[in-house]
Structure formats: C-alpha cells, structure tokens
Amino acid sequence: MKKSKGILSLVVTAAVIALLAFTTTAGFGKGHIGSARNIKLGLDLAGGVSITYQVKDDNPSEKDMQDTIYKLQKRVEQYSTESSVYQEGDDRINIEIPGVSNANEILDELGQPGSLYFIAHKGSDGTDNYTQVNSTGDSAQDYQLNKTIEELEADGSIVITGTDVKGAQAETTEDPVTKQRENIVSLTLTDEGTDKFADATREAAPTKDSIGIYYDGAFVSVPNVQNVIENGQAQITGNHSFEEADNLASTIRIGGLKLELTELRSNVVGAQLGEQAISTSLKAGAIGLVIVFLFMIFAYLLPGLASSIALIVYTGLVLVILNAFEVTLTLPGIAGIILGIGMAVDANVIIFARVKEEMARGKSVRNSLKTGFQKALSAIVDGNITTLIAALVLWFMGSGTVKGFAQTLGIGIVVSMFTALVVTRLIIFAFYAVGLRGEKLYYRKGKERGVVSFLSKKKIFFAVSLFVIAIGFVFIGVNSAGGKGAFAYSLEFEGGTATNVTFNEDYSIEEIDEKIVPIVEKVTGDANVQTQKVAGTNQVIIKTVTLELDKREALNQAMVDNFKVDQEKITAENISSTVSGEMRRDAVVAVIVATIFMLLYIWFRFKDIRFATSAVTALLHDVLVVLAFYAVARISVGNTFIACMLTIVGYSINATIVIFDRIREELHYASKKTDLEELVNKSITQTLTRSIYTSLTTFIMVAVIFIMGVSSIREFALPLMAGIICGAYSSVCITGALWYVMKKKFVKAA
C-alpha cells in the first residue's frame, strides 16, 4: 500500500469515527435522527404503557387464562419484543409495553379483544344467516346478522372461530400477469381449523358464495370464496389500502383469544431501574472500553491501537443500527452487546496472536500481517457463524427477552466480524503504509512458551468439573427439600404481589430507589424489589415476591409509619410470572434447536462429529457450572437469567471453536508418527494467550459494570463473570481433552 493510500485510509477512518460520534451524540435534523437518545429502551430502562384487561367470563379456567396471556404476548411483540403480559389477581391480565407513552394509541391499534366468528352465508335450512342492507363499502354497516350466535352455533353455521386462526398478516402482492399490486390479508389456520374451513369452502366455492367475518357484534369483512381452501392458508382480497388490510389482520388476531376482555385501566409507568441505573451502566461501559483499549495497546502495541480504533467504530455502528432497526434495548439486550464486544476483541486477539507467531518465525512485518489475517480467518468466521446460528434460531423461535437478546447479539456478531476483518485490517495496513514499519512497533519479543501438558491433567480437570456440577445439584436438592425452592426465583419466574401505593407527594424514580425500596426490602425480605411510577400521579407500583397476609399488613404499616400514607389508598394483587410457561418452553426449545444446528455446522466444517459432540458437551458443562453458581449463591433467577445463560452459551462455543481450529490446522500437517496428545497440547498452548486475553477483556467489561452498577445490575453481572471464568477454564482444560478422549476411544468415528 502506497503512503498516499495509507494517509487516505486513516483520513477516511477518522471521518467515519467523527460521523459516527456526531450521529450517536447529536443526530441529524430536528428529530435528532440516529442519535443514541432515540434508541428505544425497554420497560426496565425507560418505562412505557401498562394496560389492564378484565376478563368478561366468570371464573375463567387457568388453561384459558394462560392461552390468552400467551397469545397476547405474541401480539404485543409487534410493538416491542420486550413487552410483557402477566396475570393479575384471578381474572385480570396486565400488558406492559416499553418505549411508548400514549396508552390510547396502543389501545386503538391493539383493539378491544372480543369474539370472532367466520359465518357461512346459508344455514342448513337454506335461509340467509346474514343479508346485505347497504353498499357503503363498510362491512359493519352493509351487512346485518339475521340470527343470534347461539342459533348459528346450533345450526352449524359457525365455520370456524378465532381460536382456529393461528395467524393473520397484512401483505402486498403483485399479479404476475398484470403487475398490479394488491393489499391482502393472509390467514394461517390451525390443524383443526384447516379441516373445518376446507369443508366450508368446498360447499361455498361452486357458487362463489361468501363467508362473513363477524367480530365483537359487527361484520368486519364479507369475502367471497373463489376456490376450495384445503391447506389452511387463505387470503382475503379486496380493494384495501395497506392500512385497512393491516387493521383487518389485527382485528382477526385479537379475536383469536380464548377469553373476551374489556379494558379496566391504563397507565403510563416509569422505568423499573431508574436513570441512575442507566447512567452508571453507560459510565461503566465507557470505563470498561477505555481499560480494554489500554490493555490491547499494552499487549499488542500498534496493532492494539488499530483494534482499539476499530472497537470505537464497532460501538458507533452498533448504536446506529439499534436506532435504524428500532431495536428495543433492555438489560438483557445490553448483555448481547457485551458479548459482541467480547467477540470483537476476540477476533482481533486471534489475528494479532497469529501475526506474532509469524514474526517470531522471522517473517517481515508486512508478510506477517498478511499471513496473520489469512490464518485467523477460519477461526473468526467459524466462531462467529456458530454463534450467529444460535442468535438466528433464538430470534425466530424465542419470545420476549430471548428475542430481544438475539437481536442485539446478532447485530453485535455481524458488526464485530466487519470491524475485525475489514476496519482493523484497513487501519493496520494504513499504519504500515505511512511509514510505521519497525518490528518493535508490532511485536514485543519475549521468552517463548514451552508446550504445556494439559492432557496429562485431564482426569483432574474432569473430576473438578464433575465435583462443581455435583455441588450444584446437591444445593438444588437441599434448597428444594428445605422449602426454599431449587433456585431463588424472582417474580418474573414465579409471580408475586403488586402493591399500589398512593403517596402524599410526587417522588422521583431516584427518590423511590433511595427512600422507599430499602424499607420495602427490609419488611418483605425481598432483595429484588421492582418499582414503577405511574405518570401524572403520586402512585407507585411495588412488585415483590408473593406476600402472605402478615407481610402485606407489615408493608402497609411501614408505608403509613414512614410516609404518612392513607392506608385506604394501598391496594395489593397477586400477579403471575411475566415469563410464562409457554415462553419458558419457547426458550428451551429454541436453545435445543440452536445447539443442534451449531452441532451440525461444526460437524460440517470440521468433518468430524467428535469436534461437534465435544463442543456441545463443553457447552453443557459451562451451563451446568453456572447453574450451580446460581443455586449456591442464591442469585435471583429472573429475566436476566435467560440472557445470562444465553450469553454464556455464545461465549463458550466461540472459545471452543478457536482451539478446534488450531487442532484442525495441526492435523493437516500431521503424519502417522505424530503424537496426538502432543499435538493437542501444542494447539491449546498456542491459543492460550488468546484464551486468557479474550476472557480478561470481557471480564473487565462486566466487572466494571458490577462494581459501578446498582443492585439489579450487579445480580446480572455476577453470574456473567462466573460464566466468563468457567468458559475460559473449559476452553483450555476441557474441550481439547474431550476431543482427544473421543478420538482415542472412537478411532473410526467420522
């Protein structure tokens, strides 16, 4: 690269950094487009809207309540993946949607849940079930029902109900012949609904008769049947605008609920964590990044400076992309970004470790740089793609917190690969081009490390791991037998009590954290109290673990004694977990599917199933060790638990891939006389610096957040630190040894 090109590259990089800095801090135009302040924040960081629905049915069953909650959860995720839906009392459902402040707007868009029926035009006796009375183009005014719903049900004229509809989506299609675009509503039916709808359309299709869609007392659409529909996929066509098609799809979706609901109340609520948690987390993140920059420069000299500049670009790009794609950022989402930073650092460490190896062999600086990037490529690509597979599966199959985590993780992985392989390369070769070519700028000579015999201690490592995991199971059993619960479940997992207190003055979120929360924690014994301030009022919603009558009375008295609250203005209701059983099932299934896909990818790339099985075994090891940490330390198991475990899965698999990549490379040059144990020891030793440095830099990021964060942040950071240490241990001491044992035991395995 010529000097002029090097200078141009550095100038362009500086301009990009300046543009990213301006965009994220100030933004463009009156709306500050692109500014970090416009990133959508979750309910825990910024507050939002809380809507409470009352079930119309008397004594709704638990099954119907859970089905309705789950369907509402999937529905409100159109506003934010971090929306939560949970049961309040026996017959109320609460919806919390972050990042919005207009409850009426949400209610208008979400609709009032009611009963949905697809009604055949003709009854069994041949009479019309409904007739057209007007031609205004509005189905509600144009069509009139001639019979009651009870009569239609008895007659068999109800084709399907809302519960038979799996999904409804507005789409724009194009006629392949006329090229004319049309807005339609695409319906997906359940298996049972498919059969019933096939029978009805088979009867209506010959005469192109209609099937009316009746919702909450009025017709919303009366489409004619053009063909027999047997596959459960139907389209509602017509001269719709996209907004009309979207509203119709929304109406059909909301009508698929098991129960009829009516709005009871809606509030704008403040952030659960408060501004202090956000500001300290941002400061901690900035301090952590600076420490990582200094460490990289100290460890790798000029290449370390290049990687630090690339990390600045990484941070700016992630913030801009979060803004552009309107991703809702929550505490678990921040975990995905932290993992992304760790993987961005990891990619640079892999590259520079390779560069140092080439220079130690006597190659020139330029050739060492070129070869280092080439040799690091496979490990970086395989590690990132494996984790990206997990992120994509979690995004498509997960819900709520899992989906939000997957979004930020996926963004972080793509951006980290780009900055490591493109930006870092561009900067470092630009440095070389402008004359910074001295060997001492790129490589600090040190004593060459001899091969460490890790495999000779494999039995000790395996025994230690099994012992730690066993300790975890022992604590789980003891805690369960003692009535404390296997884990310290938070209210997100097992529900709790929501106490609404109307104070005599308007407390800020920070004052609530400083004055009210400590008293609540002391009275209830709950170290994970959540609070929300109802905007425009003096009301504060205090969420705790489930409180028995004596604890409720003690809390009420404490509010009266300390804040002179009118006891009649204190109400309490039991609330269900915000992480429903269905959401937990989704998370577990998503992780299992992601693990299978990762296993298949590793098998495909490494051409040996032993690499895949040992990688997944090591991953399971890390998860079980961190579970043991949760059980022993009694760290609260809530929303952040899912994000923490998923972070560890991503971190663990990436670290494993790096060592396996080196083993694969060494096997390529091995002969029949090569000692396999020595080969594995050599591979682990060669990647040891990478394992230590990557773990250390990621640990620094999380440790600073732990030290500076509020209590809820610390409960999130502590198990993450344990997971990072465990991941470093397993990648060095477990993964290579597992592969070696499998290789020896199953020689003919493919």
| SS3 annotation, 502-561 | ECCCCCCHHHHHHHHHHHHHHHHCCCCCEEEEECCCCEEEEEECCCCHHHHHHHHHHHHH
Residue pair 57/260 in contact (Cβ under 8 Å)? The answer is yes
Report d(CA 721, CA 701) in Å as an integer.
10
- What pLDDT sits at residue 379? 84
Question: Using an 8 Å Cβ cutoff, are 145 and 214 in contact?
Answer: yes
Question: Which of these, 702, 716, 719, 727, lies nearest to 291 by C-alpha position?
Answer: 702
Q: Report all structural domains of the chain as residue ranges with CATH numbers, in order of start.
A: 3-24+273-442 (1.20.1640.10), 43-112 (3.30.70.3400), 116-256 (3.30.1360), 455-473+580-745 (1.20.1640.10), 496-572 (3.30.70.600)
Q: Where are the beta strands (DSSP E) in 379-490?
A: 488-489
In whole angstroms, what is the distance from residue 621 CA to residue 401 CA?
A: 24
Predicted confidence at residue 104, as pLDDT, reads 63
Single pTM value for the model: 0.69
Question: What is the C-alpha to C-alpha distance for residues 733 and 677, in angstroms, rounded to an integer?
Answer: 13
| Alpha-helix residue ranges (DSSP H) falling in 163-270 | 191-204, 242-254
Give the sign of the dihedral formed by CA 664, CA 606, CA 589, CA 52: positive
Locus of tokens 């932290």:
338
pLDDT tens digits, 610-627: 888 888 888 889 889 989
Q: Which two structure tokens, joined as six digits, stand for 400? A: 């709520």
- In the 8-state DSSP scheme, what is residue 421? I
**Which stretches of the chain drop beneath a pLDDT of 50?**
111, 749-750
Q: Is 325 helix (H, G, I), strand (E, B) or coil?
A: coil
Nearest one of 158, 189, 159 to 252, comparing CA atoms? 189
Cβ partners under 8 Å of residue 290, min gap 6: none
CA distances to 276, 529, 709 from 712, rounded to whole Å, are: 12, 9, 8
| Per-residue model confidence (pLDDT) at position 385 | 87
- Give CA separation, 55 vs 94, 409, 719, in Å: 11, 38, 39
What does the pLDDT read at residue 537? 83
Distance (Å, rounded) from C-alpha 547 to C-alpha 407? 36
Q: What span, in angstroms and rounded, lies between the C-alpha atoms of 644 and 69? A: 25
Which residues are CB-neighbours of 243 under 8 A, at least 6 positions away?
A: none
Residue 372 is classified by DSSP as H
First to last CA, the chain: 44
**For residues 721 and 342, what is the distance between their CA atoms, to the nearest angstrom?**
12
The token pair at 268 is 């704008």
pLDDT value of position 750: 43
Whole-number Å distance between alpha carbons of 412 and 252: 36
- Smallest CA-to-CA distance from 624 within 599, 652, 596 is with 652
Q: How far apart are CA 711 and CA 668, in angstroms?
A: 50
